[in-house]
Amino acid sequence: MDNHLQTIVKPLQKWYETHRRELPWRLDKDPYHVWVSEIMLQQTRVEAVKKYYTRFIEILPDVRSLSEVPEDRLLKLWEGLGYYSRARNLKKAAEKIMSDCGGIFPDTFASLMKLPGVGEYTAGAVASICFNQKVTAVDGNVLRVVARVTGSRQNVLLPEVKKQMQAQLQKVLPDDAGSFNEAIMELGETVCLPGSAAKCVECPLRGVCTAYRDGLTSQLPMRVKRVKRRQEQRTVFLLIAEDGRTAVEKRPDKGLLAGMYQLPNVEGFLTEQEICATAEAWEMQVLEITFIKESKHVFTHLDWLMKGYQVRVACPAGRFLWVTPEELQEQYALPTALKPFAPLLTARQDEDNNLSNQR
């Protein structure tokens, strides 16, 4: 498949040659330096990190000194950066490098991934920048650039979307993957800024950017937070009158499934006794209750966990519409949420049809 990302490689490399910022952790490619800076940069802006980084490296110049630093001293050095587990993991990783690797910094993506606090992003950054490995380092900045250049409307907060974008990038990575990774991050941090802060006039990728072409820059990337859906238990009544008709009712004109017809249902999983009491409150006499099945329906903000009961009744109540199986099938569109219960009601019609065919 054609990979549009191929078009960004050359202009990005060229741009980076002249726009690469001089940063304290870019003075060499020492993995200890790059690792410490990448961990600091994870939740903190470049400008804020500079001071912390310089002091940290002065006091703890190598893996050994970090592995031996008392925790209080370490936390004091980290004071103000926040997310202190990052500092604790740095020390743990340094101890591991000393004890398991003879003090030699791991030099592959896979071995870096084994260090505490090192995930795909950090392992990718260190492996590509320091050890020339052809691996990606995808952070939020990179996802923004990729989503905009490709015009993807997919939700970048989904792990599968991130994976897919990472795979697309992997295919176009040039030999100098480290510089390319830094270049695309740098573009995301300084030019391809979030929302309407994007500086498209300065962007070397403007000519190949789908979002720019389509006027979608401020809308991309899509970051849709998954809302925790409310779980609602419901008891669904398949009310059957003695003449074979079934009860349906119209939902209120506002709210969920507004104005649609439904099988009567109430909140909560009722016991058979409660089902009986509810039907009686609806002024019907219950003849028989049979549990039919459970079903689940996922709405946008809500899940319905349903238990359906067939309830045979005498004196069908006026509050419902009593319809024949044919009418139910042909005239009343049940919401999808309740469809799993419908075959039971309309099947009786099929049985009746079969019977009448045989007659």
Which residues of this chain interact with ligand ADE, rule CB under 6 A?
38, 41, 125, 182, 185-186, 189
CB of 31 to ligand ADE, least distance (A): 12
Residue whose beta carbon is closest to ligand ADE: 185
Could you tell me the end-to-end alpha-carbon distance of the chain, in angstroms, rounded to an integer? 61
- Residue found by looking up tokens 């340094």 in the block: 94
Q: CA quadruple 203, 206, 211, 213: dihedral positive or negative? A: positive
Per DSSP, the residues of 97-151 read: HHHHSTTPPP-SHHHHHTSTT--HHHHHHHHHHHH--------HHHHHHHHHHHT
Whether 22 is a known active-site residue: answer no
CB of 66 to ligand ADE, least distance (A): 19
Q: Among 22, 38, 202, 249, which one carries the catalytic annotation?
A: 38
22/288 with CB nearer ligand ADE: 22
CB of 249 to ligand ADE, least distance (A): 58
Q: CA quadruple 99, 100, 102, 107: dihedral positive or negative? A: negative
Element (H, E) at 306: strand 302-314
- Residue found by looking up tokens 């507004």 in the block: 258
CB of 145 to ligand ADE, least distance (A): 12
The rounded distance, in Å, linking the Cα atoms of 97 and 104 is 7
Whether residue 221 is preceded by a cis peptide bond, meaning omega within 30 degrees of 0, is yes
29/348 with CB nearer ligand ADE: 29
CB of 41 to ligand ADE, least distance (A): 4
CB of 189 to ligand ADE, least distance (A): 5
138/306 with CB nearer ligand ADE: 138
The rounded distance, in Å, linking the Cα atoms of 236 and 292 is 10
- Residue 30: closest CA among 129, 138, 108: 129
- Residue 297: closest CA among 327, 262, 332: 262
Residue type for 22, please? E
The rounded distance, in Å, linking the Cα atoms of 321 and 13 is 70
- Residue 86: closest CA among 127, 52, 128: 52
86/251 with CB nearer ligand ADE: 86
The rounded distance, in Å, linking the Cα atoms of 150 and 166 is 13
46/302 with CB nearer ligand ADE: 46
The rounded distance, in Å, linking the Cα atoms of 212 and 293 is 52
125/306 with CB nearer ligand ADE: 125
125/248 with CB nearer ligand ADE: 125
CB of 185 to ligand ADE, least distance (A): 4
The rounded distance, in Å, linking the Cα atoms of 127 and 106 is 9
**Catalytic residue IDs:** 38
